[in-house]
Amino acid sequence: MKLRLPPRRVLVALLATIVVLTPIVFFWVRSLVPNDLSPMAMGYADHGGGPVSEHQHHGADVSKLTGPVDQKPDVAVELVARKERFDIPGRGSFDGYTLNHTSPGPRIVAEQGDLIQVTLHNDNVADGVTLHWHGVDVPNAEDGVAGVTQDAVRPGKSYVYRFVAKDVGTYWYHSHQIAHEQVQKGFYGVLIVRPAPDDVIAAVHTYDKIRTVNGEYGERRVKAPGPTARVRLINTDNGPMAIWVDGASYKVVAVDGTDVNAPTEVSGKKVLVTAGGRVDLEIRTDKPVRIGLGGGPTTLVIGDGDAPTGTEPRDRVDLLTYGSPKAIAFDPAKATRVFRYDIGRRIGFFDGKPGLRWWTINGHQYPDVPMFVVDEGDIVRMTIKNTSGQVHPMHLHGHHLVILSRDGVKATGSPWWTDSLNVEDKETYEVAFVADNPGIWMDHCHNLPHASQGLITHLMYNGVSTNFHLGGGTGNHPE
């Protein structure tokens, strides 16, 4: 019996299918994030034109870079993490996460120089939990990033954070374990380091499209602390928020915990607070005033009686020119490392999932992204360029950046120090900082769903290593 071959057209079709599918399968396999990944093995080292040393896997471990161990704390707080149903005043009950049965969690207030000790207990959060101190330049072991500086705290377990409140300012804390879910659903709170008590706190958070201030929905009122109030506004959401004041002029007196030099009176303008960012306003409160919080029914009224109701102003305060210049402690022109952080998108796969526009950093997808390598004492200059089509609030842990320019226009106002920078599409910022806090630090988008999709890299100090791992097999999922 004669063997019968398939028709020629069938063979051609089969061959064409193989030709088409082979590269697809190759890129699908290549996109898979390892089940057990060491931050030390991620991507490739970018030395920024500085000295190149061996990529060390046995340097000083991040777990040793702690706050004071034996000293008695000035502020001691116990926080119990739970998954449970809780009430949003003005709106109703919500299924999410709490700390000590509340969301936001307890407000932590310290004086400058205080040693803060926070003991985190996990009651029933199956995925584990951590605490990250957003904007506080803590020692690396206290940074609270699952898989980089610690393991996630499992149910029934505890973890102690200890750090000195070195800098006066407005900060917040949140989980850095499955952060895109846990933060949105309630794992956050406020941290204030202050020299004086006359403050009004406004932490804005959206629970599944329900925008709140200090965990409450709708118009919320507070008493005026005096003829002038320092209002500390915190954006805990994933996108930028416009704020404005109806009924009084104001000054922008601090950004991301750092005071503005010689702030001037502002009227009829809004201020943009990026995701994760903080802005402090000084407002005359001898008459009732209303603070708009991005639009919608949730506003903050300071004082008794009727407060004016306005609309969002068209113009906004430009922090590139606001305030007056002042010398800083280093010369960015003498940078010893120069990096680029180019944010883009491309068609392909991410962790096996197909998509038309996955995030890239310098043309690479996570985890094959640059590891920015520095030595302690380096002056670092970085250009952040966004051509991705979306806004990104960029957040470097453990450091504050000073803005040098935006789209080639030099900063001329007060030194603009930030840890959470709003980078619009087609914007380019040049920033600088001193590498003065050894460790392995996340440098990522604080639109947390973006970070969970790979818009994340790290700043690594020579001579520092970590034994923590992240990925599905480890239970550590920082984003």
Same domain, 185 and 210: no
Same domain, 342 and 432: yes
In a domain, 14, yes or no: no
- Are 61 and 466 spatial neighbours (Cβ–Cβ below 8 Å)? yes
Look at the alpha carbons of 361, 362, 368, 371 in this order and tell me if their dihedral is positive or negative.
negative
Q: Which two tokens stand for residue 99?
A: 């700390």
Which of 317, 347, 364 is where one domain is finished?
A: 317
**97: burial class by Cβ within 10 Å (0-12, 13-18, 19+)?**
buried
What is the reported pLDDT for 6? 63
Same domain, 59 and 79: no
Same domain, 225 and 346: no
In a domain, 286, yes or no: yes
Q: Tell me the C-alpha distance between 360 and 385, whole Å.
A: 12
Q: Tell me the C-alpha distance between 400 and 423, whole Å.
A: 16
In a domain, 473, yes or no: no
Same domain, 332 and 258: no
- Are 373 and 46 spatial neighbours (Cβ–Cβ below 8 Å)? yes
Q: Tell me the C-alpha distance between 369 and 352, whole Å.
A: 17
In a domain, 381, yes or no: yes
CA-wise closest residue to 48 among 405, 336, 333: 336
Same domain, 382 and 458: yes
- Structural domain tally of the chain? 3
Which of 141, 172, 195 is where one domain is finished?
A: 195
Residue-level pLDDT, tens digit, the chain, 479 residues: 555 656 777 667 667 777 666 666 655 555 666 789 999 999 999 999 999 976 555 678 999 999 999 999 999 999 999 999 999 999 999 999 999 999 999 999 999 999 999 999 999 999 999 999 999 999 999 999 999 999 999 999 999 999 999 999 999 999 999 999 999 999 999 999 988 666 899 999 999 999 999 999 999 999 999 999 999 999 999 999 999 999 999 999 999 999 999 999 999 999 999 999 999 999 999 999 999 999 999 999 999 999 999 999 999 999 999 999 999 999 999 999 999 999 999 988 777 677 778 999 999 999 999 999 999 999 999 999 999 999 999 999 999 999 999 999 999 999 999 999 999 999 999 999 999 999 999 999 999 999 999 999 999 999 999 999 999 889 999 99
Same domain, 117 and 223: no
- Give the global pTM: 0.93
In a domain, 4, yes or no: no
- The domain that holds 259 is classified in CATH as 2.60.40.420
Instruction: Give the residue numbers spanning the domain of 262.
Output: 198-317
In a domain, 29, yes or no: no
What is the reported pLDDT for 305? 92
Q: Tell me the C-alpha distance between 149 and 468, whole Å.
A: 7
Which of 317, 340, 361 is where one domain is finished?
A: 317
